[in-house]
Amino acid sequence: MNILYDERVDGALPEVDKAALLQALRTQLPDLEILHQQEELKPYECDGLSAYRTTPMLVVLPRDITQVQGILRLCHARRVPVVARGAGTGLSGGALPLEKGVLLVMARFNQILQIDPAARTARVQPGVRNLAISQAAAPFGLYYAPDPSSQIACSIGGNVAENAGGVHCLKYGLTVHNLLKVDILTVDGEQLTLGSDALDSPGLDLLALFTGSEGMLGVITEVTVKLLPKPQSAKVLLAAFDSVEKAGHAVGDIIAAGIIPGGLEMMDNLAIRAAEDFIHAGYPVEAEAILLCELDGVEADVRDDCDRVRQVLEQAGATEVRQARDEAERVRFWAGRKNAFPAVGRLSPDYYCMDGTIPRRELPGVLKAIAELSAEYGLRVANVFHAGDGNMHPLILFDANTPGELDRAEALGGKILELCVKVGGSITGEHGVGREKINQMCAQFNSDELTLFHAVKAAFDPGGLLNPGKNIPTLHRCAEFGAMHVHAGKLPFPDLERF
């Protein structure tokens, strides 16, 4: 499955003398581990978005900052592009390698440097796994809040690069809200510290700018995150609905009631059945949609909130509201949700996971429109998502071996993202833009905005050597893609007007 690959980026890059580069790396950094044989390179040809694959020219696996600095200086001097990679679990092809570039794998930077329980911070290397931070903080009653579904495997450096979210980001924020400080190396190997140990930092907020910049501004060498006290108590409610729209309305009602759940997730019938078959979570398989609502905090507070949420759900027309009876059932409820992607994967040879965000009030209408688009394109769509923050993950089911299905899946995915933009939302929520959604960026932003992005990128990396071809499309590319920009929902997508 390779047709989504876009050869234009690699095509535009200058030729590199691979042998000479290899020789220079070996001479100047004798202890550096370098992969350069075809069979060694193969495992690195894609990240979590395996529909896009490119074999990198070279893979380097440095062990310390001096080596990273050496690699960057050498590549900078020779104008060789560099793509940084963490654990490779990203879902938008942000770490997709370049045929004419070096893949800089930061996986060996896996040390937790300090847990400071008084300051409630953790200082870690970028290759540390997301969950490992919470595990290290647990003896102090603390944890790191952002929890992408891939948290067992994904690295904090990748989380920073993609501004990762998770089930808890409605209440506790995205990665950017849970960071204090990031040490980086610039494209030419300068060490910089962005942010500080203090809440605010003077000058321009380069830490927030850097977060989510997908490896285009620098290479992360150290991360200081905030830790939170573990909530005293957590309860989860499961509500069943006989229509997806009703469930969508209930989400808005909970928030409007002044409650901020720790997590507020939605699954539609296709996803419910898939998860139930796979995990036996105890979900009501006849429901058109379920909501999972977790409330966390102080015991008494959580009890109060559960009562209020139950009331709101019943008023919103839930056919059933169940509270997990004990911790085992709570964990089972979540296991169904957290394994929904692989569960849906069992329904079909292939699926394409989308990631768009919309204002909460648009949930019912957009879900209805997705159902209509699904019928129109003749492809099933399962919906599993962070309903509370409007971050949708429609999973488009297809079979790449059936001629035309991949094309249709891609086209349907594009339509869904355009729909998100049309209702005032955005083409990504937590997976980033990467290579995958670079065309949809032309829909999200106008040419003035894109020009400004390029200018800011150039302030860090004037030669465009860091992860070229990701995140921000060239104006040329947008022109080719067919100027489909919508600003604040004002310009129409003619064929989406009916929604």
Contacting a copy of itself within 376-415 (CB under 8 A): 389-391
Q: Within positions 98 to 137, which residues make up the interface with a copy of itself, using CB under 8 A?
A: 117-120
Q: Round to whole Å and give the CA distance between 144 and 248.
A: 29
> Which of 11/202 has CB closer to a copy of itself?
202
Total Cβ atoms within 10 A of residue 286: 11
Number of residues that bind a copy of itself (CB under 8 A): 79
CB 353 within 8 A of CB 398: no
Q: Within positions 233 to 292, which residues make up the interface with a copy of itself, using CB under 8 A?
A: 252, 255-256, 258
Select the residue interacting with a copy of itself from 70, 90, 394, 429 (CB under 8 A): 429
Stretch that binds a copy of itself, among 75-83, 152-160, 161-169, 405-413 (CB under 8 A): 161-169
Q: Is 297 in the site for a copy of itself (CB under 8 A)?
A: yes
> Which of 330/360 has CB closer to a copy of itself?
360
Residue type, 439: N
**HSE (side-chain half, CA atoms, 13 Å) at 433:** 22
Joined tokens for residue 33 = 């581990």
Q: State the Cα angle at 157 between 152 and 162, rounded to 5°.
A: 90
Joined tokens for residue 324 = 């997990």
> Which of 146/336 has CB closer to a copy of itself?
146
Q: Is 463 in the site for a copy of itself (CB under 8 A)?
A: no
The least distance separating a copy of itself from the CB of residue 83, rounded to whole angstroms, comes to 18
Q: Within positions 432 to 461, which residues make up the interface with a copy of itself, using CB under 8 A?
A: 432-433, 437, 441, 444-445, 448-449, 452-453, 455-460
Q: Within positions 189 to 218, which residues make up the interface with a copy of itself, using CB under 8 A?
A: 190, 192-193, 196-206, 208-209, 211-213
Nearest CA-CA partner of 484 in 433, 447, 432, 429: 447
Alpha helices in 393-471, H assignment, sequence order: 405-422, 441-444, 447-460
Q: Round to whole Å and give the CA distance between 168 and 265.
A: 10
For 80, 328, 341, the CA distances from 335, given in Å and listed in that order, are 44, 10, 11
> Which of 350/436 has CB closer to a copy of itself?
436
Q: Round to whole Å and give the CA distance between 160 and 162.
A: 5
Cα dihedral across residues 472, 476, 482, 485: positive or negative: positive
> Which of 265/305 has CB closer to a copy of itself?
305
The least distance separating a copy of itself from the CB of residue 407, rounded to whole angstroms, comes to 24
Q: Within positions 352 to 381, which residues make up the interface with a copy of itself, using CB under 8 A?
A: 357-361
Q: Is 487 in the site for a copy of itself (CB under 8 A)?
A: yes
Q: Is 158 in the site for a copy of itself (CB under 8 A)?
A: no
- The residue written with tokens 């032309």 in the block is 442
The least distance separating a copy of itself from the CB of residue 498, rounded to whole angstroms, comes to 22
> Which of 296/405 has CB closer to a copy of itself?
296
Helix (H) or strand (E) holding 374: helix 363-377
The least distance separating a copy of itself from the CB of residue 154, rounded to whole angstroms, comes to 17
**HSE (side-chain half, CA atoms, 13 Å) at 5:** 18
Q: Within positions 164 to 193, which residues make up the interface with a copy of itself, using CB under 8 A?
A: 165, 169-170, 173-174, 176-177, 186, 190, 192-193
Joined tokens for residue 287 = 């429901």
